[in-house]
Amino acid sequence: MKYSIKDVFDMLGEDALKISEVKGGKESIKVEGFKVYKRSMRYATFYQKGCKCAVCGKEGTYFQLDSDGHGGNIENRRHFNLYAEDGTLMTKDHILPKKWGGKDTIDNFQTMCKDCNEAKGSQYECVIDGIVAIPQDNPEKCKQFVSL
């Protein structure tokens, strides 16, 4: 079942969406009989930064309730994933990858489609004034990421 962005944000509530980092708490709501945790940096990123890919501009237009990826039906949990009209999964990307010291805070997240996020990977050495360094292993592959 598809859910509108507005409907999901209304279900989660602004208190859960205006967070800058996840600090404890497993407050949840029931959707289709499943437990859905309200606090998620992914949801907060989509709410605060928008639903468009920072690289290619593809836009997430609907949410779908999917397995939580942590054991399926364990604890009867699910989460909302954001998708573009063509079915592309939208993701939360670390601007400065954790591998290079990036933090799990809203200031270090941006929305990306799965394809751009996978192409970016964690090969960047630094971010300076919003410019992401090109990986040395394959600069042609990632030229599009120079001016995020």
pLDDT in tens, 93-120: 998 888 878 899 999 999 999 998 888 8
DSSP state of 88: P
Mean per-residue pLDDT of the chain: 82
Mean pLDDT over 29-39 rounds to: 93
Q: What is the pLDDT of residue 106?
A: 94
3 to 7, 32, 65, 114, 122: CA distances (angstroms): 6, 12, 8, 20, 31
Mean pLDDT value across residues 51-68: 92
Confidence (pTM): 0.79
Q: What is the largest CA-CA distance in the chain?
A: 48
Residue 20 to residue 41: CA distance in whole angstroms: 8
Question: pLDDT, tens digit, for every residue of 65-90?
Answer: 998 665 555 668 899 999 999 999 99
| Phi, psi at 59, each rounded to 5° | -115, 130
Alpha-carbon radius of gyration of the chain: 16
pLDDT beyond 80 at 130: no
| pLDDT at 59 > cutoff 60 | yes
Percent of the chain with pLDDT over 90: 55
